[in-house]
Structure 1
Amino acid sequence: MKKYLIAASLLLSVSVFAQKDELKALRKMSRDVFPEAKDFNDYKSQLSALESKIGAADEEQKADYYYYKGVYGLAQMKANKASAKTYLDPTIESFNKVIELESGMKKKKHSEQINNMFYPELRSELINAASALGKQQKYKEAYPLYEKVYRISSKDTVYLYNAAAYAVNSQQYPKALEYYKELQQVGFTGTVLNYTAKNPKGEVEYFGDKKVRDLYVAQQSYTEPAIYREESKKGDIIKNIALIYINQGEKEKGMAALAEAKKANPDDTSLLMAEAQIYLEAKDYENYKKAVTQVLNQGSQDPNLYFNLGVTSSKSGQNEEATLYYKKAIELKPDFVEAYQNLGILQLEGEDAIVKEMNDLGTSSKEMKRYDALKKQRDDMYKQAVIYLEKAHEIKPEDENIKNILGTLYQGLEMMDKYKALKAE
């Protein structure tokens, strides 16, 4: 029995020494942080040899093993960017394992280098790649990269939010739902304090750090320092969770998610707005108006809310109410071109029926009299519409749709001078 124990002990010692030899070889090839391309095969062989024995290693040796495994993956990606698909996930997993193992050690041999050197570089590469794909509208390829940025640093919750948004854009709804729920669990709101100043071109620039912003202002090249706080994304997250459920045919789950959030925060405007948006997308205009009215009753002066109420009222045939809402939106935002445009179009309600009747009339004295009355009614509609559409054109002269409608009205009213001037623009 004693001989057996001695034999087992000897076998263990041999294994440990072997591990030390292999780790020593890996350390030697990583003298300049990354192995050279000529050493890749040998490096991989040493890692493979260690893999089967690592279960018997101590914590420090395990940390070394995962560190060198991560270094190998990063070296491969540096040598050939196309290999990122193969090595990216294992590299991040290896480095995270090192950080986990060293968290319980007094001496953190590798964690500092991973956090201060490897991860910032990897993070930057991933963000740039995801951003470039996003600009090309390749959202399906981009969203996993944003998720990986978050997995590298769980403090970077905004990138998980980006991943969720891109997953929605690429219709990867189950994955988007998973991300949004995780954002809820970690308490993400997206509220960020930015420090701003106008650059020499008069453009507003954003600074994450007040000291940096103040330095630019002190040099007198930047002016008008201010503070800008990003709105909370909490309501947006709840809204998207609910919409995804509804999209997947689980309306009850969607509305339940929203109701639960409202129960915990009954006066949260962002949640009321999320509820309103869901009703709007479902074309449930009556409940939409109720939800928006709640927001307005809490003191909101958002012109977009009044504009949307105008749209939903007009869709319900409540044109007088719609007119009041559009005018309120303009009162709050005098250059609200869409409100002017919709007000103009609203004046033309019933025009088709009038024109049809005019065209169906004959040439008798009675019919001609009726024709003249209908024409005056139509012209009065046109004149009222022109007032609003001219204002919309003044605000947004390049809008072809507004110009086309306005041109048709000018022709109908025989205002040929104005029509020619409009065509000449």
Structure 2
Amino acid sequence: MKKQTIVALALLVGSFSFAQKTELKNAEKAIKKNNFAEAKTALNSAESLIASADDKTKVQYYFLKGKALYANGAGTNADMDAAIESLNKIEAIEGKTGKHAKDVQDIKQGMLSSFLTKANEALEKKNYAVSSSGFEKAYRMSTKDTLYLYYAAATAVSGEDYPSALKHYEELKKLGYVGVETEYVATNKATNEEESFPSKSLMDISVKTGTHIKPQTKKSESKQAEIVRNIALIYMNQGDNAKAIEAMKDARAANPNDVSLIISEANMQLQMGDREAFKTLIQQALVQDPNNPELLFNLGIVAAEAGEIAEAKGYYEKAIELKPDYVDVYNNMAVLILSQEQAIIEKMNALGSSAADNKKYDELKDERSKLYTDAVPYLESTLRLRPTDLQAAKTLANIYSAVGDTAKYKEMKAKVDALESGQN
């Protein structure tokens, strides 16, 4: 009886093996005819038998399945995902130097090119969902190219698909993705503008032919701070401030002297409404980067909002000293100066009609006029650097009218009229 049982089982295994080979041959024939639906049907029939098959049969099955699902680029998103998974299983079984290695790589290369083409085309049309999906598939196809996963995350953010973006960013963070790349740039002689090149050799050729000058090899900035910041912002968007703070603190702990991360945490605290934490963090960043006009500008804003006029002026003046064309600082300085006008007006309105009150009224009036005089240079600088700033032009016109400078008032009123007509 034992012998018969063994023979029966052997015959049964043999029939399974025969069925597998038949279905796989049918699938192969269908693929050659580009009949991918028929191929998938045949492969589905063989699927239940694959778990017990030998490695050679498994590799053949996954290879055919990958080709059938890819369907020369016509497969659905779900089919593409399954195709990538199948091809990756081949490498897991026989390594990257096995019998099917070259064929697998050829298919993968075709798929990768297809994914990237579709992703870029979708990006140009601002179809961010399709673009993000394409870049993610490109990454799954070639996991060494983490830049594709970064693009998948960035385009998901552009498409406001925050759950997908968060998933990609978390994966990038876990991978330790930094994103620093070598950039090859040279100045175009005709346009006098810097242009990027995909390789050093192409840059060198352009320089030799005389179309470009000043070749440079640069390193792009790390994207680590951006990734952590976006993770935190997405958590905030989802109402999970605790996770947002935790994500930022983890990044800060790993990179305590990274100014961009300090600023990111400061901005996050500001969005959460904690202005004191924002101020503290910006001051920390300023210790690391004392000549950063952006930090000084932000400290000026916080001080101004707290009513610390002298302190705010000090920050703004230092920012202008470091960056003389910083238009927003000039504008904010003018706003800061004029913000003191309301208190003077209230004092003037509270006075009576006695001789002492009249004298005090004249003193307050002179104080108010001095505010106007102090604000004018900053407003003029704002308008010089940003000629279309309608609000600055209107404020200047009102000041010129208030101080009795008729000529300048008429000139500025004409500018206001021109700006307003241009907006209509």
Normalising by the residue count of structure 1, what TM-score does the alignment of the two structures yield?
A: 0.84
Aligned residue in 2 for 1:112: 105
| Gap change, CA 1:44 and 1:84, over 3 Å in 2 | closer
CA distance in 2, matches of 1:364, 1:156: 81
| Gap change, CA 1:303 and 1:228, over 3 Å in 2 | farther
Alpha-carbon deviation of 1:230?
2.1
Q: Deviations over 1:310-345 (max 9, x none)?
A: 111111111212112122222222221111111111
Q: What percentage of aligned pairs have identical amino acids? A: 38
CA distance in 1, matches of 2:4, 2:386: 94
| Gap change, CA 1:422 and 1:241, over 3 Å in 2 | same
Q: Deviations over 1:177-226 (max 9, x none)?
A: 43333222211112222111123323322224222222222221122222
Q: Which moved more, 1:401-410 or 1:340-349?
A: 401-410
Q: Which moved more, 1:283-292 or 1:215-224?
A: 283-292
2:116 to 109, 118, 123: 123
Aligned residue in 2 for 1:309: 299
Aligned residue in 2 for 1:292: 282
Q: Which moved more, 1:308-317 or 1:283-292?
A: 283-292
8 A Cα contact 1:47 1:65, kept in partner: yes
Alpha-carbon deviation of 1:369?
5.6
8 A Cα contact 2:299 2:315, kept in partner: yes
Aligned residue in 1 for 2:69: 73
Alpha-carbon deviation of 1:366?
7.1
CA distance in 2, matches of 1:65, 1:405: 76
Q: Which moved more, 1:407-416 or 1:352-361?
A: 352-361
Q: Which moved more, 1:368-377 or 1:16-25?
A: 368-377
Alpha-carbon deviation of 1:355?
4.1
What SS does the corresponding residue of 1:106 show, helix, strand or coil? coil
- Equivalenced residue count is 412
2:333 to 343, 349, 358: 343
Aligned residue in 2 for 1:88: 80
Question: Structure 1: which amino acid aligns with 2:196?
Answer: Y
CA distance in 1, matches of 2:65, 2:59: 10
Aligned residue in 1 for 2:5: 4
CA distance in 1, matches of 2:380, 2:53: 80
Aligned residue in 2 for 1:52: 48
8 A Cα contact 2:186 2:203, kept in partner: yes
8 A Cα contact 2:30 2:36, kept in partner: no
What SS does the corresponding residue of 2:59 show, helix, strand or coil? helix
Aligned residue in 2 for 1:268: 258
Aligned Cα RMSD in Å? Answer: 3.1
1:150 to 134, 139, 145: 139
What SS does the corresponding residue of 1:228 show, helix, strand or coil? strand
Aligned residue in 1 for 2:31: 30
8 A Cα contact 2:31 2:39, kept in partner: no
CA distance in 2, matches of 1:230, 1:293: 26
Q: Deviations over 1:200-256 (max 9, x none)?
A: 323322224222222222221122222332222223333344444455555444434
CA distance in 1, matches of 2:326, 2:359: 40
Alpha-carbon deviation of 1:288?
2.2
CA distance in 2, matches of 1:104, 1:14: 32
Normalising by the residue count of structure 2, what TM-score does the alignment of the two structures yield?
A: 0.84
Structure 1 unpaired stretches of 5+: none
CA distance in 1, matches of 2:70, 2:243: 43
8 A Cα contact 2:112 2:138, kept in partner: no
1:182 corresponds to 2:171: yes
8 A Cα contact 1:348 1:381, kept in partner: yes
Q: Deviations over 1:253-311 (max 9, x none)?
A: 44344444433433333332233222232332333232222222224532211111111
8 A Cα contact 1:234 1:270, kept in partner: no
Alpha-carbon deviation of 1:356?
5.3
CA distance in 2, matches of 1:25, 1:8: 26
8 A Cα contact 2:27 2:42, kept in partner: yes
| Gap change, CA 1:116 and 1:160, over 3 Å in 2 | closer
Aligned residue in 2 for 1:193: 182
8 A Cα contact 2:153 2:165, kept in partner: yes
| Gap change, CA 1:163 and 1:316, over 3 Å in 2 | farther
